[in-house]
């Protein structure tokens, strides 16, 4: 904030800028990272009104400056009521993007801030509520008055029982496309499911996830935190019916840390998503490999697969990759319970150029050579059970071949490989651009030298933590190497 205040003070003494330009500068000041925070939705707009009279006039007249708000409400906070009233009055008819948190007790069935927001529901566009479950009924007056609402996020500390009457506040929202429910069962409310195209997060059972996919036939992206009921061993009266979802492109099946034994088999058994591009499976520790393979066999061309701490053995992973020749992005992140990657997987991902016949100079097919997995792979995240080894380095080197200098998208190499035997290793793979690897801290000097050569050539290599950026492919890796060498 000090830097912004210094900049504001210096700008205030410069010749006047046109109102339109200064207004755009103000908006840029409040949208540095695109997120909603108290700083960029409250503190910065207020600061801009205190620099000088001219800035105050322009800031107040810049309606979009006041159309976003992040507020953590507390009971009996009259100043918050005045703040919200001021923001809504200054925003005019602008679509509203508002995040309301109510974390601290005591909790009541209503709040003055919510009452004010309800009066402006016809301007709601992107709304995020994290409220005590008893307060959601105070939003009932907005029913039928949500013409602009496109994004909605609802959350609570403790979900209400499903026996409560359904809240129909959001039942009529013709433009609602994105909906998430955090720790709150979606059937607590009535939603226009048929309109939805995006579910960022939804906490449900596996059966409910299937039901929601049926209710939302136009859904393109769905992320479900699945939590099975305690009566898992009971046999359902009727198994779920098969479901073919032609619009689903991205699917995430996640299990919470406190209940990883989620039975995801029913989801993969019943669902067919032929146009799926991306699949994420995280923390699911109840075996599901036997249902995953038929599910992927019904997918036309999956491009991204993310597996994290799942009940898949390395053999399952190999069988999965056999079905995914179009895969571009792969993450195989093992856990202490399940090792999904060893030298066997590394070897199957390593491209071995075919031997040439000395007489004809044509490739010699090797019947014992297995098909290269994921020939179009561009990014790889992987955890190894031990230290970085030769098999890992050879994998990376084989995917950065000079014969693939044309880079991804070139068809000549692929077509040539197909003509000369394709399935036995002749296809030149797409160049691997980015690798993130987790392994123990034992670094062999020769291995690190070869990795540095790849990094200098342009491959992004991150070792250890995926949170550490590798600026040019060298510094982070070299720093780790020099540290261990000393």
Q: What is the DSSP string of 129-186?
A: EE--GGGGGGGGGGTT--SS--EEEEE-SSPPPTTSPPB-TTS--TT--EEEEESS-G
Q: What is the pLDDT, as a whole number, of residue 5?
A: 46
* 18 or 469, greater pLDDT: 18
Q: What CA–CA distance (Å, rounded) separates 374 from 33?
A: 35
Q: What is the pLDDT, as a whole number, of residue 340?
A: 86
Question: Is the model's pLDDT at 403 over the cut of 90?
Answer: no
Tokens of 33: 């990272």
Position 365 confidence tier, pLDDT thresholds 50, 70, 90 = low
What integer is the mean pLDDT of 237-252?
87
- Global pTM value: 0.82
What integer is the mean pLDDT of 259-278?
91
Q: What is the pLDDT, as a whole number, of residue 177?
A: 97
Distances in Å between the alpha carbon of 313 and those of 57, 178, 437? Answer: 64, 35, 19
Q: What is the pLDDT, as a whole number, of residue 152?
A: 97
Question: Is the model's pLDDT at 172 over the cut of 50?
Answer: yes
Q: What is the pLDDT, as a whole number, of residue 466?
A: 39
- Judge contact between 327 and 374, C-beta under 8 A: yes
* 185 or 32, greater pLDDT: 185
Question: Is the model's pLDDT at 231 over the cut of 80?
Answer: no
Question: Is the model's pLDDT at 284 over the cut of 70?
Answer: yes
Please give the share of the chain, as a percent, with pLDDT higher than 70: 79
Q: For residue 113, give the 3-state DSSP assignment.
A: helix
What integer is the mean pLDDT of 371-399?
92
Mean pLDDT of the chain: 82
Question: Is the model's pLDDT at 94 over the cut of 90?
Answer: yes
């Amino acid at each position: 904030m000090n830097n912004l205040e210094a900049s504001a003070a210096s700008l205030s003494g410069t010749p006047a800028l046109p109102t339109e330009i200064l207004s755009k500068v103000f908006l840029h000041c409040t949208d540095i990272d695109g997120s909603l925070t108290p700083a960029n939705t409250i503190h910065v707009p207020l600061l801009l009104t205190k620099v000088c009279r001219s800035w105050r006039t322009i800031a107040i007249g810049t309606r979009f400056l006041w159309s976003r708000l992040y507020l953590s409400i507390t009971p009996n906070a009259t100043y918050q009521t005045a703040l919200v009233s001021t923001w809504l009055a200054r925003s005019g008819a602008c679509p509203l993007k508002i995040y309301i948190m109510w974390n601290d007790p005591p909790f009541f069935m209503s709040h003055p801030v919510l009452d004010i927001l309800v009066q402006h529901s016809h301007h709601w566009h992107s709304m995020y509520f994290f409220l005590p479950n008893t307060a959601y009924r105070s939003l009932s007056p907005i029913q039928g008055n949500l013409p602009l609402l496109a994004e909605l996020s609802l959350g609570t500390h403790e979900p209400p029982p499903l026996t409560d009457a359904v809240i129909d506040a959001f039942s009529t929202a013709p433009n609602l496309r994105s909906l998430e429910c955090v720790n709150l069962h979606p059937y607590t409310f009535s939603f226009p499911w048929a309109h939805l195209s995006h579910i960022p997060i939804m906490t449900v059972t596996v059966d409910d996830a299937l039901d929601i996919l049926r209710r939302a036939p136009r859904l393109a992206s769905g992320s479900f935190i699945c939590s099975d009921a305690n009566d898992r061993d009971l046999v359902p009266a009727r198994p779920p019916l098969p479901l073919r979802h032609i619009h689903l492109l991205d699917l995430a099946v996640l299990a919470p840390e406190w209940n990883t034994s989620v039975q995801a088999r029913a989801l993969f058994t019943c669902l067919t998503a032929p146009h799926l591009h991306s699949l994420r499976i995280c923390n699911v520790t109840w075996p599901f490999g036997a249902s995953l393979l038929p599910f992927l066999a019904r997918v036309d061309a999956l491009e991204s697969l993310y597996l994290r701490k799942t009940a898949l053995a390395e053999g399952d992973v190999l069988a999965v990759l056999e079905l995914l020749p179009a895969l571009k992005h792969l993450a195989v992140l093992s856990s202490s319970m399940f090792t999904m990657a060893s030298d066997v997987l590394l070897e199957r991902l390593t491209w071995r150029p075919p031997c040439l016949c000395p007489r004809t100079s044509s490739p010699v097919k090797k019947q014992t050579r297995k098909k290269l997995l994921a020939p179009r792979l561009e990014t790889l995240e992987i955890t190894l059970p031990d230290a970085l080894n030769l098999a890992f380095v050879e994998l990376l080197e084989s995917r950065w071949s000079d014969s693939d200098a044309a880079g991804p998208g070139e068809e000549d190499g692929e077509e040539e490989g197909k003509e000369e035997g394709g399935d036995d290793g002749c296809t030149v793979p797409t160049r691997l651009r980015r690798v993130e690897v987790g392994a123990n801290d034992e670094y062999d000097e020769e291995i690190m030298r070869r990795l540095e050569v790849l990094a200098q050539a342009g491959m992004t290599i991150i070792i250890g933590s995926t949170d550490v950026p590798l600026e040019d492919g060298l510094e982070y890796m070299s720093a780790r190497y020099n540290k261990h060498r000393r």
